[in-house]
Amino acid sequence: KDINDTLGHHVGDELLTVAAWRLAAIKNSLAAVRLGGDEFALLLPLDSNDEIGVISRHILESLRQQTPAGDHVLTVSASIGVAIAPEHAKDPETLLRRADIALYRAKSMGRNRHEFFSKTLQAEIVRTKRVADEILGGLERNEFCAHYQPQFDARTLEIAGVEALARWNHPREGLLAPDAFLGVAEELNVVA
């Protein structure tokens, strides 16, 4: 998107074409397909997590190579989400969904890395989505309020100010401190 917006769609298309060729050239790849936008999927017959790690690092290095596109030479980063059949799923749709969950984690941990799907990760993503939905509903229902905490001057012990602390009057869980919701609220860009 950044490349399309700054350098034009023709440059973005050239970069996607080069990325597709690099991915298709991955050793032992049974299939390399573009899912849409800048997302691709590879089907690889690998036997171990170590082997997956080696191939993932090779893919990341391949994609990081400088790429001529239009009048520009570009360097891009990538993230990889890994799901393993039949351990994580037997059907292709579920396998792709679980690889996408791992991809989301890889992106959130910083680019140029790979992450494996796990049930723990899935539960965390589901919980984050639930909390995000509840935060948006809570904002509409005015469930958030400020609690004020005085600040004292250490020498005189006089009140020097007041700190406003956000609290969430959750309908089922009661009054929640920021650690229960602030990280998700920041991801949603609903806090300043």
Q: Which residues does the annotation mark as catalytic?
A: 38
39 CB-near residues (< 8 Å, 6+ apart): 103
Determine how many CB atoms are found less than 10 A away from the CB of residue 94: 13
Q: What DSSP state is assigned to residue 98?
A: H
Hey, CA dihedral for 99, 102, 104, 106, is it positive or negative? negative
Which residues fall within 8 angstroms of residue 133, CB to CB, at 6 or more apart?
none
